Structure 1
Amino acid sequence: MNNEKCSEQPEPVPKWATKYFDRKNMLQNISSRIENVERNLKKNSSHPMLQDILSSITRLHIVNAYKSSGIGENQCINDVSAN
Structure 2
Amino acid sequence: MNRYPLQHNALRCSTALAGGLSDWTVLGLAVTIYAGRLAIRAWYIRGHRYGPIEWVLRAATYGTLRPTEIGRTQPG
TM-score range, shorter chain: 0.3 to 0.5
**Which structure has the greater CA radius of gyration?**
1
Give the alignment's TM-score, normalised by structure 2.
0.39
TM-score (norm 1): 0.36
Structure number with the higher helix fraction is 1
